[in-house]
Chain A
Amino acid sequence: MELNLLTLCYLIASVTFILGLKMLSNPVSARRGNLVAAFGMTVAIFATIFLYEDNGEKLHNYVWIFGGLIIGTIAGTLAAKKVKMTAMPEMVSLFNGMGGACAALISAAEFYHIYELHKDSPATAFAELATVGHYITIVAGAIIGTISYTGSIIAWGKLNGRVKDYSFKGQHIVNMIVLVLVIVAAVWAYQSTLGNILVPFMLIGFFALIYGVLFVMPIGGADMPVVISLLNSFTGVAAACGGFLYDNKAMLTGGILVGAAGTLLTILMCKAMNRSLTNVLIGSFGGGNKTTAVEGAAGPQGNYKEISLADAAMVMAYANRVMIVPGYGLAVAQAQHTCHELEKILEEKGVEVQYAIHPVAGRMPGHMNVLLAEADVSYDKLLEMETANDVFKTTDVVLILGANDVVNPAAKNDAQSPIYGMPILEVEQAKTVIVNKRSMKPGYAGIENDLFFQPKTSMLFGDAKKVLQDLCTEIKAV
Chain B
Amino acid sequence: MESILNFISSNQQIIYIVILMIFVGIEVIGHVPSVLHTPLMSGANAIHGVVIIGAIIVMGKAETDNYLALGLGFLAVILGTLNVVGGFVVTDRMLEMFKKKKAS
Contacts and interface: CB of A to CB of B under 8 A. Distances in A.
Q: Which of A60, A88, A92 has the most CB of B within 10 A?
A: A92
A105 B72 contact: yes
B15 to A, nearest CB: 10
A250 interface: yes
B9 interface: no
B64 A61 contact: yes
A201 interface: no
Contact of A41 (B40, B45, B50): B50
Given A71-B81, A98-B80, A99-B45, A370 B14 contact: no
Interface string A223-254: 00100110011011011101111111111111
Nearest to A358: B34
A105 B53 CA distance: 13
A88 B42 CA distance: 9
Interface string B72-101: 111111111111111111111111111111
A451 B8 CA distance: 59
A83 interface: yes
A35 B92 contact: yes
Given A96-B45, A251-B50, A268-B37, A105 B25 contact: no
A392 B68 CA distance: 64
B56 A91 contact: no
Contact of A246 (B35, B44, B54): B54
A113 B66 CA distance: 10
B79 A98 contact: yes
Contact of A247 (B14, B33, B39, B102): B14
A95 B83 contact: yes
A45 B93 CA distance: 23
A37 B43 contact: yes
Taking chain B's interface residues, is the majority helix, strand, or loop, or is none over half, making it mixed?
Answer: helix
Contacts of B72: 105, 108-109, 112
A73 interface: yes
Contacts of B40: 21, 24-25, 30, 261, 265
Interface string B6-18: 0100010010011
B18 A240 contact: yes
Interface stretch (A12-20, A159-167, A168-176): A12-20
A403 interface: no
Contact of A21 (B29, B56, B69): B29
A152 to B, nearest CB: 10
A369 to B, nearest CB: 5
Contacts of B23: 260
Interface stretch (A314-322, A376-384, A408-416, A465-473): A376-384
A377 B25 CA distance: 33
B90 A61 contact: no
B80 A102 contact: yes
A18 B51 contact: no
A354 to B, nearest CB: 15
B96 to A, nearest CB: 7
Contacts of A225: 37-38, 41
Q: Which of B62, B75, B94 has the most CB of A within 10 A?
A: B94
Contacts of A38: 46, 88
Interface in A253-278: 253-262, 264-265, 268-269, 272
Nearest to B22: A260
Nearest to A60: B60
A38 B45 CA distance: 12
Interface of B: 3, 7, 11, 14, 17-18, 21-26, 28-62, 64, 66, 68-70, 72-102, 104
8 contacts: A58-B60, A61-B59, A76-B87, A92-B42, A260-B24, A272-B37, A366-B35, A378-B101
